[in-house]
Amino acid sequence: MTRYRESVRPVIHWFRKDLRLTDNPALSSAAESGHPVLAVYILEDGDSDPWAPGGASKWWLHHSLKALDQSLKTLGNRLILRRGRPQEVLRELVAETSAAAVYCTPLTEPHAIKVDSELKHILNELGTGFRALDGNLIFPPESITTKNGEPYKVFTPFYKACLKTFPPSAPLPAPKKLPCMKEPIRSDSLNQWKLVSKKPDWSAGWLDMWTPGETGALGRLDSFLEQSATVYGTQRDRPDILGTSKLSPHLHFGEISPRTCWHHSLARVKPELQDGLKSFFRQIVWREFSHHLLYYWPNFPEEPFRQEFRRFPWIRDEKALHQWQLGLTGYPIVDAGMRELWATGWMHNRVRMVAASFLVKHLLIPWQDGAAWFWDTLVDADLANNSVSWQWVAGCGVDAAPFFRIFNPILQGQRFDPNGTYVRHWVPEFANLPNKYIHEPWVAPEHILEDSGVSLGSDYPFPIANHMAARNRSLAAFKQLRN
């Protein structure tokens, strides 16, 4: 075991979901420590991490780590890759290098909190410091509470409490230099990890749509501010137009901080046009709210917050679940969303709600099954956002939409995709179907279907559930639960 002189002992910055140089308090503190900095990323396997990244997230992670390594090299450093349980890997690295301290960004996921607790104990025994500095949330857990010191369970009061603390402090600049250790340190090869799957090939063409990494995140924010920010409040629910930021995967992997989003937006958009930013900022705070809920209620990903929903009469229907996953439900707006998800690793937020509602309320399939599919197929799969949003749709979370609020996929399509542009893009079977029938093709006269080149039951399925019958069944199940 190599031991280093006190003057050259390194510090470790453990990258997690903070894959950026700018506005990274833990990294900045490590850089200012006066020690060489060992930049490390640890890949934990599913055997020890119950919420290891899904297939689509692994693709993003591969490219994000590649971009981070390139950024570190501009500062004269590099990214060290290790695989295993973080506690054991960091113990080994401290033993190898005599590291003086470990710096990191704390997370709200229950597994990460457990890891940090064990790691703190290990490092204390080794005489090595542990510095966890918040950087991924504007409002870290326990910073926003009710007058009684309790966590908020309703979003609107939480949002108002957050607004009282604004504006957040300015984001930190990236370190100007990051001295590395002179001694060689073993690192895995990124390609050894095989994060980019070939079977199934999630990623065909994805690099044409996404640019993982800090530079891509800033570019995505700039594009949003130029094209959509001022009308975000009125257009964010329209999947047929470019009305959302698509920053969610960048925020999830910490390639950009919410604080940077906030200040950069205010600096780029003229004051007289900033009304459109209010809805955007509200979504940033919703993300914060989700992470607070996960921090205080770590069982959120598996168990309904409202305990009575443990008795809900869910139906296990593997065939219907598979049809939903493939975008073959017979409801065009739902199927368009599920196909967009498979093709791009992302789905428009309004359509996510419609597709999720269809699964849990039209099919009565447990929300956990839908959340698991999203976890595996979304490039922005975030444990807090995914869990809280699915429970919101299912009516069993905090501040939830009532269970009896059941989205009508026909009306949702007609309202938010009025010309069928979104549906035609992702369900090309209906490329020539008139707008009047695009969201309910089964009511189209036979000659219209024939002229449009559509054969229901052959080219495209009939609905796997009748809306009114499914609605009545769902309400009856809810009534049974209440009784």
Give residue 400's pLDDT. Answer: 67
- Tell me whether residue 191 is in a domain: no
Residues paired with 11 in a beta bridge: 37
Short-list 417, 429, 405, CA closest to 328: 429
**pLDDT at position 129 over 50:** yes
**b/e sequence 160-189, b meaning 16+ C-beta within 10 Å:** ebbeeeeeeeebbebbeebbbbeeeeeeee
- Assess contact for 220 and 379: CB atoms under 8 A: no
Residues 50 and 131 in one domain: yes
Tens of pLDDT, residues 440-468: 999 999 999 999 999 999 999 999 999 99
**pLDDT at position 4 over 50:** no
- Tell me whether residue 82 is in a domain: yes
Give residue 443's pLDDT. Answer: 97
- Sign of the alpha-carbon dihedral angle for 431, 432, 436, 439: negative
- For residue 112, the one-letter residue type is A
Give residue 273's pLDDT. Answer: 76
Give residue 404's pLDDT. Answer: 82
Q: What does the alpha-carbon distance between residue 58 and residue 195 come to, in Å, rounded to a whole number?
A: 5
Residues 362 and 465 in one domain: yes
Short-list 326, 325, 362, 334, CA closest to 465: 362
Give residue 445's pLDDT. Answer: 97
Residues 218 and 251 in one domain: yes
* Angle of CA points 121, 122, 127, to nearest 5°: 95
- Tell me whether residue 178 is in a domain: no
C-alpha distances (whole Å) from 157 to each of 39, 169, 186 are: 39, 22, 50
- Tell me whether residue 342 is in a domain: yes
Residues 419 and 439 in one domain: yes
Give residue 272's pLDDT. Answer: 73
State the average pLDDT over residues 424-435.
97
Short-list 207, 233, 209, 220, CA closest to 260: 220
**pLDDT at position 6 over 60:** no
Tens of pLDDT, residues 399-418: 767 878 899 999 999 999 99
Q: What does the alpha-carbon distance between residue 11 and residue 26 come to, in Å, rounded to a whole number?
A: 11
Q: 0.85 cut: is pTM over it?
A: yes
- Assess contact for 266 and 277: CB atoms under 8 A: yes
- Tell me whether residue 39 is in a domain: yes
**pLDDT at position 62 over 90:** yes
**b/e sequence 456-480, b meaning 16+ C-beta within 10 Å:** beeebbebbbebeebbebbeebbee
Name the strand (E) or helix (H) holding 102.
Answer: strand 101-104
Quickly state the pLDDT bin for 1 (edges 50, 70, 90).
very low
State the average pLDDT over residues 425-437.
97
- 3-state percent breakdown (helix, strand, coil) of the chain, nearest 5: 50, 5, 45
Q: What does the alpha-carbon distance between residue 179 and residue 64 come to, in Å, rounded to a whole number?
A: 22
Give residue 448's pLDDT. Answer: 97
Give residue 481's pLDDT. Answer: 84
Residues 273 and 319 in one domain: no
User: What is the domain-level CATH number for residue 357?
Assistant: 1.10.579.10
- Assess contact for 103 and 131: CB atoms under 8 A: yes
Give residue 438's pLDDT. Answer: 98
Q: Which domain holds residue 288?
A: 137-170+201-297
Tens of pLDDT, residues 350-384: 999 999 999 999 999 999 999 999 999 999 999 99
**pLDDT at position 3 over 80:** no
Q: Which of 31-35, 200-204, 443-447 is predicted with the least confidence, judged by mean pLDDT? A: 200-204
**pLDDT at position 2 over 60:** no
Residues 237 and 291 in one domain: yes
- Tell me whether residue 412 is in a domain: yes
Q: What does the alpha-carbon distance between residue 110 and residue 383 come to, in Å, rounded to a whole number?
A: 10
State the average pLDDT over residues 144-167.
93
- Assess contact for 355 and 239: CB atoms under 8 A: no
Tens of pLDDT, residues 211-267: 999 999 999 999 999 998 888 988 999 999 999 999 999 999 999 999 999 999 999
Tens of pLDDT, residues 309-320: 999 999 999 999
- Assess contact for 243 and 231: CB atoms under 8 A: yes
The domain total for the chain is 3
Note the residue count of the chain.
483
- CA 430, chain centre distance (Å): 31
Residues 151 and 261 in one domain: yes
Give residue 7's pLDDT. Answer: 53
User: What is the domain-level CATH number for residue 237?
Assistant: 1.25.40.80
